[in-house]
C-alpha cells in the first residue's frame, strides 16, 4: 500500500473519531429553566436578606401549549435604593399559596450583595413570604 494513501486513511479516520467523540461528549447547552434554577440555588447560598413587600401577583396568558406564567411582583430597599422586581413562580406553585399573596404582604427578599437587583422571594428550599 502506498504510504501517502495510508497516511490519508489514518488522518481521515482520526478526524472521524474526533468528530464523533466531540458530538457524543460535548456539553449540552442549558435551557432557561435550568439557568433559573441555578440562579436560585446560588442566591440561596450567597444572598443577603432584607425586608420587602409584595405588590402584586399576575398571571400572564397562556401561549402556544405552555402553562400560564405566574409572576410575583415585589419591592425592597437596599442601601437607600428602592428596587421593584418580579419573579416567575410558575414552577414553584407547590411551595406557595398564591391566593394568600396580597397587596402589602410583608416578605423577606434574598438579594446578591454585589448586584442588589438580582433577588428572589421563593425558591425550592427557602421561603420569604410571611403568611
Is 68 among the domain residues?
A: yes
Q: Is the pLDDT of residue 1 over 70?
A: no
pLDDT digits (tens, 9 = 90+) for 5-64: 778 888 888 888 888 888 777 778 888 888 888 888 899 888 899 999 988 888 877 666
Is 71 among the domain residues?
A: yes
Domain that holds residue 51: 32-120
User: What does the alpha-carbon distance between residue 74 and residue 96 come to, in Å, rounded to a whole number?
Assistant: 15
Nearest to 110 by CA among 67, 22, 25, 48: 48
| 69-78: average pLDDT | 88
- 9 Cα distance to chain centroid: 47
Q: Give me the number of domains the chain comprises.
A: 1
Confidence of residue 125 (pLDDT cuts 50, 70, 90): confident
Q: Note if the pTM is more than 0.85.
A: no
pLDDT digits (tens, 9 = 90+) for 85-98: 988 888 777 777 66
pLDDT digits (tens, 9 = 90+) for 96-115: 766 666 778 888 999 999 99
Is 51 among the domain residues?
A: yes
Is 114 among the domain residues?
A: yes
Is 108 among the domain residues?
A: yes
Is 64 among the domain residues?
A: yes
The per-residue pLDDT for 7 is 80
- The conformation of residue 30, written as its DSSP 8-state character, comes to P
Is 39 among the domain residues?
A: yes
Is 23 among the domain residues?
A: no
Residue linked to cell 402584586: 56
Amino acid at each position: 500500500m502506498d504510504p501517502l494513501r495510508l497516511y490519508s486513511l489514518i488522518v481521515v479516520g482520526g478526524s472521524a473519531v474526533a468528530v464523533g467523540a466531540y458530538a457524543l461528549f460535548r456539553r449540552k447547552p442549558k435551557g432557561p429553566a435550568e439557568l433559573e434554577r441555578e440562579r436560585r440555588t446560588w442566591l440561596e447560598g450567597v444572598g443577603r436578606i432584607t425586608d420587602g413587600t409584595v405588590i402584586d401577583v399576575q398571571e400572564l396568558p397562556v401561549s402556544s401549549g405552555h402553562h400560564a406564567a405566574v409572576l410575583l411582583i415585589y419591592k425592597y430597599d437596599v442601601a437607600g435604593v428602592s428596587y421593584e422586581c418580579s419573579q416567575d413562580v410558575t414552577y414553584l406553585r407547590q411551595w406557595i399559596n398564591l391566593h394568600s399573596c396580597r397587596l402589602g404582604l410583608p416578605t423577606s427578599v434574598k438579594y446578591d450583595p454585589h448586584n442588589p437587583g438580582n433577588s428572589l422571594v421563593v425558591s425550592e428550599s427557602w421561603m420569604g413570604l410571611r403568611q
